[in-house]
Structures are given as C-alpha cells and as structure tokens.
Chains A and B, each alone.
Chain A
Amino acid sequence: MLELALLEATIVACYAGAEALDSWKPPRGHAERVAGDELWILGPRSERCELLRAVEDSLRAVVPGALVIDQTDGWAAWRLSGTDAAHAMARLTILRLDRQDGRLHQGAVAGVPAKVILTESDYRVFVPSPVGHHLRDRILEACGDLAPTMGSPRGFDGSVG
C-alpha cells in the first residue's frame, strides 16, 4: 500500500552564522538544520504568519544581521506513507534513508534536489516548487505497480520524531 499526499507546511528559513544557529533555540515549530548557516523552521500552513513573526523576532533579537525568509512557496512537499513507502523511496533515490542517521536527509530524489524528513509513519519529501509536479509524476510512474493512491492534502502535523 502506498499513499501519496500533498503536504502543506510552512517553511521559514533562517540564515546566520553556524555558531549563532547552534546556540539559538527556536520559539516554536520544528527545526531542521539544512546547512551550516541555514536552519529550517517547519510548522502547519495555518500558522504561517505567526511562525514567521515569532522566528524573526526571536532570531533577530539574538543575531541582528540574520536573514529570515518565508520559503514556504519555494518548496513543494509530498508525503509518502503506507507499507510500500520504503520500497517506493528505494526506487526514487539512492539516499540511505535510515532513522539511525537522523531524520533529515538531503540529496537527489527522482533526479531533483530534495530534503527528506523521516517520521515514524511517513517520508516527507521537499523539492523546489518548479519541479513539484515532476516528483508527483515520477512517483506515480515509477511505483505504478504498487497502485499508489492520492490522498487529500495533509497539514504539517509536527510529529517529526
């Protein structure tokens, strides 16, 4: 069983020095360090404005020169779940998606640059918006024999581990 659903998340990207990001505690949302100088704060789409404001206020209080950008529109996110989800991901990427290696994995998925967040129940795949359709199409084609079903869009529930 394989279910594919659009994941509606807010993504606030924080750019600052590595040490500053190491020591800063985000006021809300789920943090994923995507680069030395870049931290993502994720939350539900419904809390987009509040999350952005809270993060901006908190980080700029500590690091005045930090750059905070609402990157929500820049990324398309898909959620793969079901008993065949792991097998489907093995068809799409050579990334080793093992929770022992952490919950965030970055690399090519279906040939596009992606960030994959592992949870207990699903894979959350973020790709640049201009290729969001490509990821969906490739999943449906590469995993056609797994009879994937399209679920309704899911909110980012925050249960990321």
Chain B
Amino acid sequence: MTALDFEGRQVPVEPGDSVASALFRAGVRVFSRSFKYRRPRGLYCLTGDCPNCQLVVDGEPAVRACVTPARAGQRVERPTGWPSPDRDVGSLLWHLRSLMPVGFYYKTMLRPRALWPMAERVIRRLSGVGPVARDRQPVRRERLTHYADCCVIGGGIAGLAAALAASDRGESILLADEGTIGEKLAPGPARTRALELHDALARRTGVTILERATAVGVYEGPLVPIAADDFLHLVLPKRVVVATGAVERHPLFVGNDLPGVWLGRGAARMAGAHRVAPGREMVFWGATEESLESLEVLRRAGVVLKGVVLPVGLARTLNPAEYPLIADGEIIEARGRSRVRSVIVRTTSGESEIACDLLVVSLGLEARSSLLRQANPAFVTGTGDVVEPHGVPPEPRREAGCFCLCEDVFTKDVADAWGEGFQSTELLKRYTTATMGPCQGAMCHRHLTGFVEARTGPAPASRATTARPPARPIRLEDLAAGARYPLEYRTALHDRHLGLGATMEWTGVWKRPERYGDVLEEYRAVRERASIMDVSTLGKYRIAGPDATEFLERLYPCHVKTIAPGRSRYSLLLNEAGYVFDDGLICALGPQGYYVTVTSGGADQAEGWFRDWAEAWSLEVHIGNVTATYGAINLAGPRAREVLAALTSEPVDNTAIPYNQHREVTIAGVKCRVLRVGFVGELSYELHHPRLESEALWDALLEAGKLCGLVPHGLEALRLLRLEKGHIIVGQDTDFDATPAKLGLDWAARMDKREFVGRSALERLGRLERDRELVPYRFPGPGAPLDGAQVLADGERIGYLTSSRFSPVLGHGIALALVKRTNGTVPSTILAEDGSGQRFEGTRAQGAFYDPEGVRLRA
C-alpha cells in the first residue's frame, strides 16, 4: 500500500484519494487554524471553495488538500499551530476577541509610533495561514497558448453540455476543469451523466480537455489564463462559457466553523466517492431536493441519523419511521470545543439539544460567479447553476457565527462595521476584509450583499463587489510562467569581452564591459597611447526621403540645413517642454540623407519619437533603425591614428578626416563609416560597420594596436574620461527637467531657428530665473566624493553631485553638480557629503577640467 508522509507519520493512500480524504481516513480532524483567532478548522466543502483544508504539500503552502490528488511519498503538514495544530495555544486569542474588534488595527497602536514595528511583528506571527517556504525551489513553468472558438470553464454537466452543443455547431472547443471530470460529484445519476458527456466530448475532433487546470481569470481579449501542473495555459477564444456551477450556501449560526460541520455535497462526496463516513452520529439540515440525495448517500454509508431538519414539504417525502424528522426547524448553534459535540435545534415548540459528532448542512446554492463577474458580457456567457437564481440567504442574527471563513470575520463584526458607518458592500469589504481571502468570497459574498440589501433594499450600496483575478489561489511561479528570464541584449563582441576577462554590467537592457582589469591602466591607454571600446549599443538611424532635412530641422534644436555632407554635428534632443531627453550626432550623407546616433539607453524611445513626429508633420521621410545592424568601435588616444593607418591604405590624417567629420573608409577589409568624435577628450574615431564583421575588426584593431600598447577600455574608464572633459551623460547628469541652459549647453539650442520641438517652451523658460544649474567643481586632495553626494553651501543642502571621480591626470577630485541658484548665481565653494560620512570642500571650475581648448581631440 502506498502512503504519504503527514507530519512524520505514514498515512495510507487509496486509489482516488485526495490529500484531504487520505488524512481524514487516517483520523485527522483539525486541518488548519483560522486566520485571526486560531480556531480549529476541519473539512467543510470538499469542492476547493473554502479555506479550511489549506496545507503545506511538498513545501508548497496554501495547497487546497480536498482537490489535490494524494500521491505516495508526498510530504504534508499543517502550516500553523503551536505546540501542535490540534492543540494551539494561539486559540486563547478567541477569548481576547473583545480586545480585537473589527478594524482594530486601523484604530489601535497609533501611538507611540515606535511600538508599531513591534506590534506588527507580533500580529504577523500570530495571524495568517503559515509562512512562505523561502528555501523551496520554484518549479519552472512555461506558458502554452491555445486558440479556440469557445472556451468552456467548468466540466460539470452544464459545461460539458455547452461544449457538446458548441462542437455540434462546428466550433473548436477548449474545456477546462479544476479537477477531473465528475470527481466532485458523489456516485449517482449526476456523476454518471457527467462521465457520459465527457466520453462523448472527448471523441470529438477539435476538442481539447484540460483537467486539473484552474481558470484564474477572464480578461479582455478575451484571454483566459488557466493554471495547471504542466503549463500556464493562455487561452484566446472567440467566446467564453462560464460553467463553474455553484457552491452550497455557507450557513450562519454559532459554531458554524467547528470541525464536524460539513456542507452536504462535501459530506456526500467523502462518504460516496472516498468511502469514508464523515462522522458516526449525524444531524442533517436540508432544504432542497439535492439535499435529500446527499442525505441518502450518507445514510447508505452507515452514518447514524440523530435528526433530520427539513422544511415541512420535503419532510413529507420521507418515511418518518426511517428518518428522525424535525419539520420546519433550524440549527441555531453547534457546540463543542475542538469539534462538534451537539447541536441546538429551534422549532416552533422550542429549542432542543441533540448530541452528535457530525452536522451536515445543505440549504441551497450560491453561484460560483467570480469569473462571470470579471468578464465583459459581450463575449462571456454563463450556463447552469452559475446563472440560475438561487435567492437571497436569510439575514443573519447579530451573533450568528463565522461570516467569512478565510479572514475570520464574524457576523458581529459585520454588524459593528455597519454601525460605524461602513454602509455598503464595498466599504464593508474593505473595512472588515470579508470576501478578501483565498476563497474570494465564494462562501460569504452573497451573505455580504444580502446583509446590505436587508438594510438598504436594492440599491447601489448593496451591489456585488468587483470581482478580480485571481478567482482561485494561484502560485507565484504560475504568474511568472515564461517570463522569468531577463532579456539581455548583447553586442556582437560579447564573447570577445568575456574572453578578455571583462566584468560585465547592465546598462539598460544591454550587458556591457564595465572593465577588463585595471581601470587606471585602461584610462592611461586612452590618455597616453590608444584604446578601443565597444560602442555598438549606440542608437543608430538612417533618415532619408525628400523631407529628411526639414524633418530633422524641426526635430533638433541645432541647425541641420547647414551640416554639409561629410560633416557631423552634436545635438541634444528636447521634448515639447524643452527638457533634454537624449543627445547624439547628426551626420549628413548628401543625397542618401542622414545618419543619426542617439544614446544607448534612448535608442528605442528615439525611434518612437522620430516616427511620431514624422507622422504628425505628414512629412515624406523614411526612418530606418540600424541600431542592431551596425556595430561600432571607438578607437581613441593620441596614437589612434597610427593604429588606423596600419589597417587601411586610405588617408586618415587630420585633413582626410577632420574633427566633427565622417568618411567611408575600409579598415582591415571592413567597410566602415568613420566618425571623428571627442567624447573622451582625445583623438577618437568611431568605426561604424556591419555587425557581423565586428569581431574581425576588433581583432584587427587589437593586433595592430600592439605597436603602441593598445588595450580595450570599459565603461568605468569612459565615465572618468568624459567627466574630465566635462561631457554629460544624459540620464546621469540630467534631471527630468533639465533644459539646455541648466546644463550649460545654451549654445546647443539655436533660438534663431524659427521652429523646433521644445522651442516655445525654452523661450518661455528663458524669461524665468533658472532654479538649478549643472556646475563643475574640483576637490583638492587625493580623493573624491561618491556619485550622488549631497552638496551643501552655507549649511544648506543645495543639490547633489551627478558624477564624481578622482582625476589621475589632474591629481584631484572632479565632479559635476546639479545645484540650486541663489540670486542668479551658484556658490563658488561647496561641501560635498557622501554616504561614507566624509566631507569634501570643492571650488567651482570653469569649462572642461581637461584640455579645455579641445586641442587634443582635434589633433
């Protein structure tokens, strides 16, 4: 015989067992402890609707044991209860409930505030449904997409019949049920009918049946995510049929949450399907034809009937000699400490107590309508019990037991909340948290609306609350299915960087070399010899068409018409508010239009920006994104020209390719567009080339560079090099409201142009006093503050350092600071205070720190 492990004990498993049925057969009666008062909870619905049987199964918390198949070797435990779930000291909280009225956490422990963190820890420890297993390895789950004409949610008789009817009409079908077909039904005509329909449907073509697959929600689209053990199924049907049926009405009376109180279907299923009597001596309280079926199943299972409480009409259908009938009575209380010992029955002739260990209640149905209420009726319909009218439950008495089993909310709490002024379903829900637990109101939602309706009549205040996904508890790994992978953009030189031992870092979506080894050595190579850097991540565009020049002229704040073919111009990109959001080069190609670069991080945004404006202006301009098509390598350093000349027969001197110009040159057999640039403040060539030839070009540059000690440099060296030159990095040295003037780049916005994006905003802002400014500061001494250090002047915090480094070539710290202007100026001396607690005294610098005349980059 197979067995599962229940808290160190071997529990036999029989064919068809759920975890709950196996444990119940083995004598387990307390399955969990309630959320707030630690009251004992036993099996109740057996349909996966209530929260009572949530256990930890194989390390996975909150598994609904009644709908989880039992397997040999499973490790099962109850999540809460000390020293044991059967005898939990925490249950003393029930006796302190007067100290914890509804919403007490909103009203208490407000002062002293310092006590709240401690109180929060205590509340978290005492409440809840158990800890998350942090050491559990998540199952990696994938998504699987299905297209079908019709998605049927629910494999009961109504769902199967709807699927067959749709199939008859030639529709393709996907039917999902959270269990196996028919398993929730006790043996009998209904189960037989369900299995017959299932067989008929399974034989059809164009039909997919998913069992043990739980529909999580119904989204616009329509899209129905269905969680199963194999996949998160994403179903995109033309229409959805919700056939989730109904759950038996949760009765409200004192002691309704004691172990031993069962709903009729659950008790019948335990007795009929699992062949375990849910108790020995039973009081049965029924009100429907279906309840009599459950009664019969239980009777055949050998349960002793101590009382059968029925409406007089139903009672007449039974033989009084066989059934201890109590006509027109009601149960007003179940008594017992940790399980039912007796019940109090009230009839017209008075109250009586009946000893029993089982109370089965079957008073009618409540639609399991959460999915139906989530959806747009245009493409979603319901069928079966989910759309049948089931009537309003009777209004509960003030002291009438547990209202919301998930959140441990009692009828008194709801009445108190109403008295405090929370007089609508939505307000009561938020204040009491009723309907907000794992069952999402399956048990108590109709009670909530009924409670309000009894006081307001049909009114907006009594409307059903908004149903939202997930309709059923869902694992985090299902939510992450197919989406747990970081998307890593790589340049064509990625493997070369790894081969050189580079430390890689994320910059936006890209992985780029932060350093290859000694950053100082990389820095020196650029300043003293030659170095290369992979800058393939730059955004790159071809802009062409009859209106290309006009388009760029309107888009950029610099003059574009005056860029002669072969020349390039640095420019900012501004939004309508005049704020800088990107920068780059515009290279004029002549009749072929323009080659435009933007920052690595801004490439995608720039494309959208270009296309939106081209469309808005109705200009005949064509935009080709070549970011991924071209690689780019920056060759920089005083001896860069020597390296370049060694790899080409074409002229590369200062006359052939002057600063701010570009040419097509074949380098090491690779056709390149060579851009003379100066970001690092040295003689530099950006070699833009077809991506697939990046490795060949990189290898050739490294080889040719051996003559002058060329090594590659990474981002950290770049950050220092460009800071010495005073060049900004958009995003790092800019804020959301950085205008060219604030950055000291007034010259980049040509206000003599009639029109460009952001011009009118700049004109307006130009009439106002600038509040902040990006200012260079130098810090004498051997160190430098960290990026982000706070800037103080006269004891007041006036800004922060956007970039800060120690400059090896200058021998002191340098920084760019975004600081507040006072009386039209910024302080000439500041204090910078970083996270290490160190303070640095800085003095204002003028222009670039390094080579302010730009002699080296024009060399």
Query: Which A residues lie at the B interface, using CB under 8 A?
Result: 13, 15-17, 37, 65-67, 69-75, 87, 90-91, 93-96, 98, 110-112, 128-131, 133-134, 137-138, 142
Contact = CB atoms under 8 A, between A and B. Distances in A.
Given A111-B483, A129-B492, A15 B624 contact: yes
B691 interface: yes
B490 A133 contact: yes
Given A74-B626, A93-B145, A67 B485 contact: no
Contacts of B510: 130
A74 B629 contact: yes
Residue with the highest number of chain A CB atoms closer than 10 Å, among B142, B491, B620: B142
A73 B89 CA distance: 69
B145 to A, nearest CB: 5
Interface stretch (B2-10, B404-412, B539-547, B707-715): B539-547
Chain A interface, DSSP helix/strand/loop, else mixed: mixed
Contacts of B485: 110-111, 134, 137-138
A67 B630 contact: no
Contacts of A37: 622
B144 interface: yes
A75 B542 contact: no
Contact of A73 (B143, B545, B692): B692
Contacts of B629: 69-74, 129
Given A91-B482, A134-B488, A67 B542 contact: yes
B422 interface: no
A96 B143 contact: no
B690 interface: yes
Given A129-B492, A131-B487, 8 more contacts: A65-B620, A67-B622, A69-B629, A71-B624, A73-B628, A129-B691, A131-B488, A134-B485
Contacts of A112: 487
Interface string B477-496: 00000110101111110000
Contacts of B690: 70, 72-73
Contacts of B195: none
B623 interface: yes
Q: Which 3 A-B pairs have the closest CB atoms?
A: A74-B629, A15-B622, A73-B691
Interface in B624-652: 624, 626-630
A69 B542 contact: yes
B147 interface: yes
Contacts of A71: 624, 626, 629
Contacts of A129: 492, 628-629, 691
A134 B146 contact: no
A79 to B, nearest CB: 18
Nearest to B143: A91
A15 B418 CA distance: 66
B295 to A, nearest CB: 47
Given A16-B622, A90-B145, A130 B483 contact: no
B236 interface: yes
Contacts of B482: 91, 111, 142
A75 B487 CA distance: 16
Given A15-B544, A67-B622, A75-B628, A134 B487 contact: yes
Nearest to B625: A74
A41 to B, nearest CB: 14
Contact of A17 (B144, B492, B620): B620
B79 interface: no
Contacts of A74: 626-629, 691
B799 interface: no
Interface in B102-145: 142-145
Interface string B347-372: 00000000000000000000000000
Nearest to A71: B629
Given A37-B622, A65-B622, A96-B147, A142 B142 contact: yes
